[in-house]
Amino acid sequence: MAGMIEGKRVVVVGGSSGMGQATAKELAAQGAEVIIASRSKEKLKSAAKAIGRPVLERVLDMTNARQIDAFFQETGPFDHLVISAADAVMGKFADVEIAEAKRFFDSKFWGPYSIARAALSKIRAGGSITFFAGAASRRGTPGLSCGSAINAAIEALSNTLAVELAPIRVNTISPGLIHTPVWDQIMDAETLEGFFAEAAKKLPAGRIGTPEEIAHAVVFLIENRYMTGSVIFVDGGYLQS
């Protein structure tokens, strides 16, 4: 598979932090021309510095249809699309307000849906789309009802698009518990440390995952031309625990 990434043009929506940034960094290291997109210009600049290789930065709000259309008109043709951006909402079913749940769906489901749809005419022959879902799609976990439903919807969408959009390949990464900056917005540092420590004890892998491990899985899906309609779980054994 040597050279499958080098020289390819890859759009990473959500490339300014966490798993998206790690993916952009790995792709750039392998010689891809990488375009990172997110809502925050400041985060994009910080991410570009952290990546340490030349990348193109584009401001994009996935919930804004006009911005999405303008983004792909400006970007032009490319080879691969990775969509990792999303907000996160946690809470018990009875406690999460419906309006908040709808915003979560707008961000994590309708955002990627709209991005993929707008990108179709720009993806070159031999190209691919990689969605991000989450391992909670396959296992009931208190506090994750909304996110689990969204993840399952993304996986189902990906499976259907793999058939409908062929020969464009469509796959999904479903991570388990990964230490990314989004967790810092949900819990304070002390609570988060305790949460991760307890969660790690229950995982066969014995630890929390890293964004770099997710990035390796994304690169695998991009490189392997026989992979389509697949959901790859990178979860440390979460589904077996």
Please state the pTM of the whole predicted model.
Answer: 0.94
Confidence of residue 117 (pLDDT cuts 50, 70, 90): very high
Confidence of residue 198 (pLDDT cuts 50, 70, 90): very high
Contacts of 194-199 spanning 24+ positions with Cβ under 8 A: none
d(CA 20, CA 15): 4
pLDDT of residue 38: 96
Using left for φ > 0, alpha for ψ between -120 and 50, and beta otherwise, residue 234 falls in: beta
Mean pLDDT confidence for 223-235: 97
Q: Which of 99-103, 161-165, 189-193 has the lowest mean pLDDT?
A: 189-193
Each residue's pLDDT tens digit, 11-20: 999 999 999 9
d(CA 148, CA 135): 8
Mean pLDDT confidence for 123-141: 94
Strands (E), 103-157: 123-132
d(CA 53, CA 12): 15
pLDDT of residue 188: 83
| CATH number for the domain running over 9-182+211-232 | 3.40.50.720
What percentage of the chain carries pLDDT values higher than 90? 87
Residue 1: pLDDT over 70: no
What's the number of CA atoms in the CB half-sphere (13 Å) around residue 8? 26
User: Tokens at residue 36, please?
Assistant: 């990172």
Q: What is the dihedral of CA 185, 155, 220, 51, to 10 degrees?
A: -20
| Tokens 């392998």, located at residue | 30
Mean pLDDT value across the chain: 94
d(CA 96, CA 77): 40
Each residue's pLDDT tens digit, 49-93: 999 999 999 999 999 999 999 999 999 999 999 999 777 788 899
pLDDT of residue 2: 46
- Helix axes of 41-51 and 18-29: crossing angle, nearest 10 degrees: 40
Mean pLDDT confidence for 4-31: 97
| Tokens 């952009």, located at residue | 24
pLDDT of residue 189: 85
pLDDT of residue 186: 76
pLDDT of residue 39: 94
What does R_g of the chain's alpha carbons equal in angstroms?
17
